[in-house]
Amino acid sequence: MRRKFFLLSLFLIPLRSAHACGCFNTATVLDDYQQADFVIVAQLKTLIKGRSQFGSDISHVTMMVQKVFKGEVKVGQELTIGNGDPVLGCSWPFYAEQVGETYLLYLYRPEKPGEPLYVSVCNRSSGLEAAHDDLLYLENMAKVRGRTRVSGNVKREGADYENVKGQRVRIAGKNKTYIATTDDAGVYELYDLPPGRYSIEPVLEPGWKIDAWGLTRQPTRAEMMADPDPVPPPPRKMWFTLRPKKHFGVSIRLRLDNKIAGRVTTSAGQPLSRVCVSLVPVKAEPLVCNAFTEKDGSFEISSVDAGSYNLVINYAGIKSSHQPFPSLYYPGVTTAEAAKVLEVKFAESIVGLTFVVPSK
């Protein structure tokens, strides 16, 4: 199986998820199309019981070909795909709940005769719903082959990362600046930019900032040498080189540019450190610590959606040397009914809060 390996920068994110086997894809759709032996859309049909070489009780799966972009296969043909392992084999495992799902697959012929095909985690293979950028090119290759292309997607931070429609992206070259706009799927593309050096940045609307970048190039030395403690904020723009007849990909993730911040102290004003602070929608149960207080008692929770919230400390109610008190609600009461609710408007920050732990 062909694989690509490289080091991951602190603020660069993958165009597809990174996996524990150590590979990380930096390829454009054109790169992976040229390297793959087969590029197809296929639907997962059945899982075949049996011991795989990686120890799974599913030996392989069958997939029905729905569309062919490259390779000697036909629509309607059934392919056998080995059940892989992302750690041991840098390849996809399959599960019962995936039966019926459709995928865009970049496949390589087995290295040895008789071995099954596997889906690599080191290329752009993905579920069809995540392949819009690829399909924009693959379904129009006859018209756009040989032309330069810059493309990517823009998403906003959230539980599932929301695609952003209508987001403008500025691409500046030596002599001209271009503007691309994302479509319904959050994808933008530009063809026929002259080869050369470019910068790229999102045209940010008020209330948003850049959370992370995903580029189809390896990080520069400067990016790799960035001090990880504290983690540096992502830069406002990125640079890349566009080669003749080649593509480049830049994906961007945005997040809300606001925060909830304050201090946790005793009734005597002494700061409390390592206290678990949770920001919880009203009527919901706290499940995680969103922040821990610093030595000076300060805390900060960033990128908060608009809504009504309770601020809770020691949500689990387990007393310790750092939290010798039960669960408390802001500004220092024991019940949600007595709490002061924080009303957060879009991209609004609330700072300077003082959460007082009452004396016994």
d(Cα 83, Cα 160) in Å, to the nearest integer? 26
Domain 146-256 sits in CATH 2.60.40.10: yes
Residue with the bigger pLDDT between 150 and 221: it is: 150
Query: Where exactly are the structural domains of the chain?
Result: 1-145, 146-256, 259-357
Scan for tokens 């530009």, then name that residue: 190
Residue 222 has pLDDT above 50, yes or no: yes
Residue 117 is given by DSSP the state B
Q: Are strands 259-266 and 350-357 parallel, antiparallel or unpaired?
A: parallel
Does the CA dihedral 312-155-256-299 come out positive or negative? Answer: positive
Q: What is the pLDDT of residue 113?
A: 81
Residue with the bigger pLDDT between 256 and 51: it is: 256
Residue 6 has pLDDT above 60, yes or no: no
Q: Is the peptide bond before 331 cis (omega within 30 degrees of 0)?
A: yes
Distance of CA 290 to the CA centre of its chain: 19
d(Cα 242, Cα 247) in Å, to the nearest integer? 7
Do 122 and 36 form a contact (C-beta atoms < 8 A)?
A: no
d(Cα 212, Cα 88) in Å, to the nearest integer? 28
Q: What is the pLDDT of residue 15?
A: 42
pTM of the model: 0.82
Distances (CA, A) of 160 to 102, 155, 190, 193, 198: 19, 9, 26, 32, 30
Q: What is the pLDDT of residue 193?
A: 97
Residue 227 has pLDDT above 70, yes or no: no
Confidence class for position 360, pLDDT limits 50, 70, 90: confident
Distance spanning both ends of the chain, measured CA to CA: 64
Q: What is the mean pLDDT of residues 282-287?
A: 90
Q: What is the pLDDT of residue 116?
A: 86
| Nearest in space to 339 (alpha carbons), one of 305, 304, 306, 312 | 312
Residue 18 has pLDDT above 60, yes or no: no
Residue 16 is given by DSSP the state S
Domain 259-357 sits in CATH 3.40.190.10: no
Residue 176 has pLDDT above 50, yes or no: yes
pLDDT, averaged across the chain: 89
Residue 205 has pLDDT above 80, yes or no: yes
Scan for tokens 């403690």, then name that residue: 229
Residue with the bigger pLDDT between 278 and 113: it is: 278
Residue 10 has pLDDT above 50, yes or no: no
Same fold, 146-256 and 259-357: yes
Q: What is the mean pLDDT of residues 262-276?
A: 96
Residue 292, strand partner residues: 276
Highest mean pLDDT among 5-19, 119-133, 216-230: 119-133
The three-point CA angle 329-332-336 to 5° equals 30
Residue with the bigger pLDDT between 130 and 51: it is: 130
290-347 per-position pLDDT tens digit = 999 999 999 999 999 999 999 999 999 999 999 999 999 999 999 999 999 999 999 9
> How is residue 260 written in tokens?
């909830």
Do 251 and 213 form a contact (C-beta atoms < 8 A)?
A: yes
Query: For 129-280, where are the alpha helices, taking DSSP H only?
Result: 132-138, 141-144, 221-224
Domain 1-145 sits in CATH 2.40.50.120: yes
Scan for tokens 């949600």, then name that residue: 336
Residue 41: φ, ψ to 5°: -105, 130
Largest CA distance in the chain: 77
Confidence class for position 200, pLDDT limits 50, 70, 90: very high
Least confident of 53-57, 72-76, 261-265, 311-315: 53-57
Order of all β-strands in the sheet with 58-70: 78-82, 58-70, 38-49, 102-107, 126-127
Scan for tokens 């830069």, then name that residue: 235
Least confident of 6-20, 83-97, 139-153, 306-320: 6-20
Residue 52 has pLDDT above 90, yes or no: no
32-45 per-position pLDDT tens digit = 999 999 999 999 99
Q: What is the mean pLDDT of residues 4-26?
A: 47
